[in-house]
Structure 1
């Protein structure tokens, strides 16, 4: 449980910063804690959407080693792309909701 929380925070920082980087416009004014929350949300939302839309459930049937967060034998790069995209959307939403988007 402890390492799941630590891994989620570290992943949230990485995915959140990448999401902030690819978000359209100037969204750099949201605080780091909000970026991390967007990253953690992006991890779970992106993984779930990737699993549901592309029906990668065939990869995990009858195999206890796989679940919706682990759908391939190697690094699942496309799932990470979906996570970054979901984090970018969440960064845009957070910047808009908090009124912290920089004016151009």
Structure 2
């Protein structure tokens, strides 16, 4: 059940990150979900390092860190995706 939640949260984080970033992102939905999952993991690690690992109620700080990490990872991952995709088009021609 943990993996299912990771996929769902990663999907939501990835879509939110894509919506927040300006311009068009070209990465496919499955890759955006993976970027969101990675952002969630990185955000949790940062939250644990800062000391907001577990609080009473909703962990808004942890969620904000997860979203921030997802935004950075979606941005960088989309740049890498487009660079690799562009290189493949040049090699075919």
TM-score bucket (shorter structure): 0.7 to 0.9
Residue of structure 2 aligned with 1:34, choices 31, 34, 39: 31
Distance 1:28 1:38 in 2: 12
1:50 alignment counterpart: 47
Residue of structure 2 aligned with 1:9, choices 3, 7, 10: 7
| Unaligned ranges ≥5, structure 1 | 57-67
Greater helix content: 2
Distance 1:93 1:79 in 2: 21
Residue of structure 2 aligned with 1:75, choices 58, 72, 81: 58
Asked if 1:89 is matched to 2:72, the reply is: yes
The two structures, once aligned, show a CA RMSD in angstroms of 1.5
Normalising by structure 2, we get a TM-score of 0.80
Are the counterparts in 2 of residues 27 and 95 from structure 1 also a CA contact under 8 Å?
no
SS of alignment partner, residue 27 of structure 2? coil
Deviation at 1:33, TM superposition (A): 0.6
Deviation at 1:98, TM superposition (A): 1.1
SS of alignment partner, residue 5 of structure 2? helix
Deviation at 1:19, TM superposition (A): 1.4
2:18 alignment counterpart: 20
